[in-house]
């Protein structure tokens, strides 16, 4: 085989390994997503959602720094050190007035209550799943660098990320 084809085979093997790591944790993080869906906490009030994601990442071996950027529900979970730095962003806030059962028709759980119309329950948990899989890949393959999960609150109308950026995160 040519050098190019052997590079492609190696790249395919790396992708396959990451996919297998994602598959290993997918059911668990699906449950995490559903839990955050049920919490349905609006921006800057996502205490349970933020705490759950922090707990999951800490259990997976990340060092968690909570309450960053003077935002009680913002956090950064880190693994490794040095360069390169890989950032994964997760959101977990719900929207006011959009309470919804997991049904295909309009069916509020709490009339006028908050809900996850934008899927931040999926983004927060799916990004955490990705971070865990990447971390495990880094460990198994002795990949150097820093991996960070940015737990960003109040994405919908609260500018949580802006405060994190201004804080240098």
2-60 confidence digits (pLDDT tens): 566 667 677 777 888 999 999 999 999 999 999 999 999 999 999 999 999 999 999 99
Q: Tell me: the pLDDT tens digits for 57-104?
A: 999 999 999 999 999 999 999 999 999 999 999 999 999 999 998 888
pLDDT band at 168 (very low <50, low <70, confident <90, very high): very high
> Cα angle at 151 between 169 and 40, to 5 degrees?
150
pLDDT for the residue 62: 98
Q: Which of 35-39, 74-78, 113-117, 162-166 has the lowest mean pLDDT?
A: 113-117
User: Exposed, middle or buried: residue 156 (CB in 10 Å: 0-12, 13-18, 19+)?
Assistant: middle
Q: Give the closest residue to 96 by CA, choosing from 58, 142, 46, 137.
A: 46
Most distant pair of Cα atoms in the chain: their distance: 63
**C-alpha to C-alpha distance for 131 and 129, rounded to whole angstroms:** 5
**C-alpha to C-alpha distance for 133 and 93, rounded to whole angstroms:** 23
Query: Both tokens of residue 31?
Result: 């449950």
> How would you write 5-59 as a 3-class SS string?
HHHHHHHHHHHHHHHHHHHHHHHHHHHHHHHHHHHCCECCCCHHHHHHHHHHHHH
pLDDT for the residue 2: 57
Residue 1 has pLDDT above 60, yes or no: no
């Amino acid at each position: 085989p040519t050098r190019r084809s052997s590079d492609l085979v190696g790249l395919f093997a790396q992708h396959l390994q990451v996919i297998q790591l994602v598959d290993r944790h997918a059911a668990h993080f699906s449950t995490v997503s559903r839990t955050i869906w049920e919490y349905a906490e609006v921006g800057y009030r996502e205490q349970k959602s933020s705490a759950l994601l922090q707990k999951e990442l800490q259990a997976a071996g990340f060092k968690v720094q909570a309450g960053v950027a003077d935002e009680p529900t913002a956090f950064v979970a880190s693994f490794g050190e040095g360069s390169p730095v890989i950032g994964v962003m997760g959101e977990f806030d719900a929207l006011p007035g959009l309470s919804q059962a997991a049904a295909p028709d309009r069916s509020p759980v709490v009339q006028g209550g908050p809900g996850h119309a934008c899927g931040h329950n999926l983004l927060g948990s799916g990004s955490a799943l990705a971070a865990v899989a990447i971390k495990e890949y880094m460990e198994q393959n002795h990949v150097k660098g820093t991996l960070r999960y940015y737990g960003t609150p109040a994405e919908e109308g609260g500018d949580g990320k802006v405060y994190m950026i201004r804080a240098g995160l």
